[in-house]
Homo-oligomer: A and B are copies of this chain.
Amino acid sequence: MGVLEKIKKARVAAPVAAVELPLDQILQRDCIAAMRDLPAASIDMIFADPPYNLQLGGDLSRPDGSHVDAVTDDWDKFDSLSVYDKFTREWLAEAKRILKPNGAIWVIGSYHNIFKVGSAIQDLGFWILNDVVWRKSNPMPNFKGTRFTNAHETLIWASMGEKARYTFNYRSMKTLNDELQMRSDWEFPVCGGPERLKKDGVKVHPTQKPEALLYRILLACTKPGDVVLDPFFGTGTTGAVAKRLGRHWIGIEREDDYVAAARERIDAALPLDESALTTMQSPKSAPKVAFGVLVENGYLTPGVVLTDARRKHRALVRADGSLESVCGQTGSIHKLGSLLQNAPACNGWTFWHHDGPDGLKPIDTLRQTYLLATQP
């Protein structure tokens, strides 16, 4: 994109989002109606925890006779599967409309509704990126011994389309998981203890989600300052975590009790300060250093010989930062690496090594040294 186009885009798109969005507010309205009034292509991420359509039969009691406080609220009653299906497709269609082209959606559900949700997501042209399993460390047992303990819920993460871009803070997730890639199965306890909102000793909301779950989702898939919409806000877990993490939020919720509890909760939430908010950056977004710059600055002298880790391949550094192999092939550190290995691609920074004071080291260490010396 040229500079001119960038300016054009900024002129057209920016004011819409800045002026009209009800940032950091709860809209106390019907979910679909409220979404209809939001401008198109204005939201960075949607997190949705829609009604599960649980279809519970009669009352459920534990083996000791005590009553299980199930989800029997009116908002979870749908006359039939097809009514639920229609409702799902309606709110998802609005979600698609108001998301930015590079936005993304997360939806959580159980086996009662998640297949209908996922199917609708695909039919609407969203592109599923992962399904993620929330493994509950302390699920409610199956009191009757009739099935497997229902010990997990499923989340779907989808972008706007097959070719659409999306935000994924890969490094942050890897750091969060002790330097291993974050997997698609996450373990958290169900929401309880002091985190669980109560009024007169009774839980305010039947399905309050743990903040840890939202923390991981927002950290992984949004940037500071992004706008996160939760169309089924409940008691505002999404809002509370978004505020802590320096993201804007919009909540839609009808019920008085939930709205009141959410407001109180979010007001009390404390944003993290800037330095704590900083996360491990992917080298992608870190400043780029060209290999030639290291040569220019004397970190490597033209004429020096680089080798791979096993000293199988050798190449000469030339004045312009290109390499030359023994057999006369030339190219950038990446190109020559892939040529010599006969591989489709090669990261020259980690492939090529030089003889330093402490033995054979990847040239990437020189880049790190250079960055430390030059970055503020």
Chain A residues in contact with chain B, CB under 8 A?
A: 59, 61, 63, 65, 81, 110-112, 114-119, 121-123, 128-133, 135, 137-139, 141-142, 145-152, 154, 156-157, 168-185, 187-189, 195, 211-212, 215-216, 219-220, 245, 272-273, 275-280, 282, 288, 290-293, 295-298, 301-303, 316-322, 324, 328, 330-332, 334-335, 338, 341, 343-347, 372-376
Q: Evaluate whether A189 and B373 lie within 8 angstroms (CB atoms) in the complex, with A216-B296, A324-B278 already known.
A: yes
Interface residue from B131, B293, B316 paired with A154 (Cβ < 8 Å): B131
Distance A290 CA – B172 CA, assembled complex (angstroms): 13
Q: With A and B bound together, what is the CA distance between A133 and B186 in angstroms?
A: 12
List of B residues within 8 angstroms of A142 by Cβ: 181
User: In the complex, what's the smallest C-beta–C-beta distance from A119 to chain B, in angstroms?
Assistant: 4
Select A292's contact among B111, B176, B291, beta carbons within 8 Å.
B176
Query: Given contacts A146-B168, A322-B175, A374-B189, is CB(A111)–CB(B118) below 8 Å?
Result: yes
One complex includes copies of this chain to the number of 2
**Is the Cβ of B318 less than 8 Å from the Cβ of A277?**
yes
A372–B325 Cα distance when bound, in Å, is 13
* A238 CB → nearest B CB, Å: 15
Cβ A280 vs Cβ B330 within 8 A: yes
Q: Complex formed: what's the CA distance from A255 to B71 in Å?
A: 48
Q: Is the CB of B130 within 8 A of A279?
A: no
A112 to B128, Cβ gap below 8 A?
A: yes
A290 and B178 contact, CB distance less than 8 A: yes
Q: Please state if B375 and A137 are interface contacts (CB–CB under 8 Å).
A: yes
User: Separation in Å of the A14 CB from the closest CB of chain B?
Assistant: 27
Which B residue's beta carbon lies closest to that of A117? B115
CB-contact partner of A320 in B115, B219, B324, B338, under 8 A = B219
6 shortest A-B CB distances, which residue pairs? A115-B118, A176-B292, A276-B302, A276-B303, A65-B343, A151-B183
How far is it, in angstroms, between the C-alpha of A130 and the C-alpha of B111 when the chains are bound?
A: 7
- Select one of B65, B117, B245, B320 contacting A172, CB under 8 A: B320
Question: Would you call A178 and B292 a contact (CB within 8 A)?
Answer: yes
| Chain B residue nearest in CB terms to A119 | B119
Please give the distance in Å from A213's CB to the nearest CB on chain B.
9
11 residue pairs from A and B, CB less than 8 Å apart: A61-B343, A115-B121, A133-B135, A154-B154, A172-B322, A175-B322, A180-B290, A275-B303, A276-B303, A276-B318, A280-B318
Task: Kindly identify which residue among B149, B212, B320 contacts A280, using a CB–CB cutoff of 8 Å.
Answer: B320
